[in-house]
Chain A
Amino acid sequence: MPIDSQPPPAGDWDRIAESEEFKDLMAAKARFIVPATVAFVVYYFALPVLVGYAPELMKTPVIGPVNVAYLFALSQFFFAWFIAWLYMRAAAKFDAMADKTLTQLQARKDAERS
């Protein structure tokens, strides 16, 4: 993206904010980030809640002496990595949409000028 480091003209902010491309970008981000955040918060807090309030369940051995508590804690790492991986994939699309928002603005300005 050829964006120079000068601050853009003040009117540009509102023009971008009202453009369809930007609204699509914001909607797409919300569609990913809100459920992803809810998912990791619920999955994560299930651990201290269960450890705290259902200790007997968590002490149940699964593989030899390895119990539910340890396996659930370990699974948190893989779950966090998984969510991060999903986000990195989704974010590539957000980047393309953000670039499109800015090129469209430039195109509209060029059209007005000619």
Chain B
Amino acid sequence: MSTPLIMFLAFIAITLAITYWAARRSSGATAYFAAGRRITGWQNGIAVAGDYMSAASFLGIAGIIAFQGYDGFMFSVGWLVAYLTVLLIVAEPLRNAGKYTMADVLAYRLRPRPVRAMAALSTLTVGTFYMIAQMIGAGTLVALLLKGSGIDYSRAVVLVGMLMVCYVVFGGMLATTWVQIVKAILLMMGTILLSVLVMAHFGFSFAAFFDAIAHVKDGGKVVNFLNPGLRYKPPYGALDLISLGLALVLGTAGNPHILVRFYTVPDARTARVSVAWAMAIVGTFYIMTTFLGFGAATIVGKEFIARNGGTNMSAPLLAQRLGGDIFFAFISSIAFATILAVVAGLTISASTCFAHDFWENVIHHGKPQDPRTSVRVARLTAFAVGAIAIALAIGLSNFNVAFLVGLAFAVAASANLPVIVLSIYWRRFTTEGAVAGLATGLLSSLALIVVSPSIMGIDAPTVAHAARHLIQMKPLFPLENPGIVSIPLGFAGAFIGTLMSRVDAHAEHKFTEMEVRVNTGLGSEKASAH
């Protein structure tokens, strides 16, 4: 058996052991959906980081920097700064007002059925985009690493899908949390090691490293990769950058799988501490994408990467060049672990959303259900989500994963963030406003993605089938990322919907209750007694 295969199997064995341990400990709905709210601040901080640093961060950003230099680093910056939105505006109110899902905050004072139905739709859409990106990363990675072992792209995608369903179905939020913690620690170790090796390659001289970045051979030319503009070019590059920035900074706080993590801690104060921990870890990681991305650009070179798996494989190929096949296997296993943990987080948030928002509250009108049945519904949903993600990922294997996740963030920022913020901070906000905001944000971001240059474009007949645009016509919308248009539309939908509807006295009265609850923690969900 080859070394890479042994490393993969070792990681899978560890995570299954965690799942077995968690399955024996967790019973009841709070345990399954929120790990009993007994995760501590630093544990949850590491888990948030583990939930967040996805294939997009590790494989995707490294790839964009390796191919297009500085512009890729803009993803790194935006993804850290985004945590300020989470910390200052969303995390604590969400923890105090809700129970299991993002929609709990909306349903606190608005009519639960319409807002939960819309929020569930939007949660599942964001989760699907995000999940496809992860599965594509996993598929290409495993196919490259285990070349000749009979495990190709499609089989790798199926394997990831089955594992994630296993964690979530048997281990619930507790297993997901610990898989994320183990993964975050492994990813940080791997990234630090790889960064040190990059610097060792340059004799630990930053001058030599940056000098190499300023003189990257690209085709026949020498290009300065520290200069912006290699990806985002005129005439629309500047707007696209701002659009991406908006989507990243506002999208994190609208990402359901990140938000549900704040229900796993005992109170809002612990939620805050966990954001601080996450910012320390995530920020350090994103600074190190400098070494991963520019290291791959200078040491490996984009021609080689393009021929061996494409942009998403930049970091693993860098590891191979610097540390040989064993280190390549080690880094690839970490990337694989990264993907599994994120996918598990996405799956549990999607299945919680379906069971809690849709099944309990929309179908059964919020009448108390047997918690065992709710958990069973969630487990069945996890199966369905796994199957859909596998099918889509096999169909869409050629997208850069950071880019796809950027789109997921745009949808989250356009649909979810406006209604979360307005329901916490605007007394007048109504059910009609929430539904209109969610619907305009969701539809406009999706529609703009479909007519953008990422989907539409006319390819020369020489372009390979897999790399062709999905729709062969001139793009109707010039930007790759729809955020700059769809986020204001999401807010506008929420405002106009509210102002056109009658004043909701009940919602306004409940606003006072929610404001007190959010700011003092009075009446908020407590940790389970165990």
Contact B279 A98 (CB under 8 A): no
Give A83 to B84 CA distance when docked, in angstroms: 8
Count residues of B near A (Cβ-Cβ below 8 Å).
53
State whether the Cβ of B11 lies closer than 8 Å to any Cβ in chain A. no
Contact B238 A52 (CB under 8 A): yes
State whether the Cβ of A114 lies closer than 8 Å to any Cβ in chain B. no
Contact A66 B245 (CB under 8 A): no
Which of A37, A49, A77 lies in contact with B77, CB distance below 8 A? Answer: A77
Give A94 to B73 CA distance when docked, in angstroms: 35
Contact B239 A84 (CB under 8 A): no
State whether the Cβ of B474 lies closer than 8 Å to any Cβ in chain A. no
Against B, the Cβ 8 Å flags (1 = close, 0 = not) of A18-49 are: 00001001100100010011001100110111
Against A, the Cβ 8 Å flags (1 = close, 0 = not) of B421-432 are: 000000000000
Give A19 to B444 CA distance when docked, in angstroms: 43
Contacts of A22 in B (CB 8 A): 516, 519-520
Contact B245 A70 (CB under 8 A): no
Give A101 to B521 CA distance when docked, in angstroms: 11
Within 8 A of A (CB), among B442-481: none
Contact A13 B88 (CB under 8 A): no
Within 8 A of A (CB), among B183-238: 207, 210-211, 213-214, 224, 226-229, 232, 237-238
State whether the Cβ of B526 lies closer than 8 Å to any Cβ in chain A. yes
Contact A95 B241 (CB under 8 A): no
Give A98 to B210 CA distance when docked, in angstroms: 50
Contacts of B326 in A (CB 8 A): none
By beta carbon, the residue of chain B nearest A94 is: B519
**Contact (A17, B237) CB under 8 Å given A47-B74, A59-B228, A76-B80:** no
State whether the Cβ of A111 lies closer than 8 Å to any Cβ in chain B. no
Contact B228 A55 (CB under 8 A): yes
Contact B242 A77 (CB under 8 A): no
Contact B272 A52 (CB under 8 A): no
Chain B: minimal CB distance from A12 (Å): 7
Give A15 to B97 CA distance when docked, in angstroms: 19
Which of A16, A55, A58, A77 lies in contact with B522, CB distance below 8 A? Answer: A16
Contact B74 A80 (CB under 8 A): no
Give A55 to B241 CA distance when docked, in angstroms: 12
Against A, the Cβ 8 Å flags (1 = close, 0 = not) of B46-85 are: 0000000000000000000000001001101110110110
Contact B279 A80 (CB under 8 A): yes
Contact A65 B210 (CB under 8 A): yes
Known: A59-B224, A77-B286, A94-B519. 10 other contacts (CB 8 A): A36-B84, A37-B84, A40-B88, A48-B244, A51-B238, A52-B242, A73-B76, A77-B283, A80-B279, A98-B521
29 intermolecular pairs with C-beta atoms under 8 Å apart: A14-B512, A16-B520, A37-B88, A37-B89, A44-B77, A45-B245, A47-B74, A47-B245, A48-B238, A49-B242, A51-B74, A51-B241, A52-B239, A52-B242, A59-B224, A64-B207, A64-B210, A70-B73, A73-B73, A73-B74, A73-B76, A73-B77, A80-B83, A81-B280, A84-B279, A87-B87, A87-B88, A91-B272, A98-B520
Q: A interface vs B, CB < 8 Å?
A: 1, 3, 5, 7-8, 12-14, 16-17, 22, 25-26, 29, 33, 36-37, 40-41, 44-45, 47-49, 51-53, 55, 58-59, 64-67, 69-70, 73-74, 76-77, 80-81, 83-84, 87-88, 91, 94-95, 98, 101-102
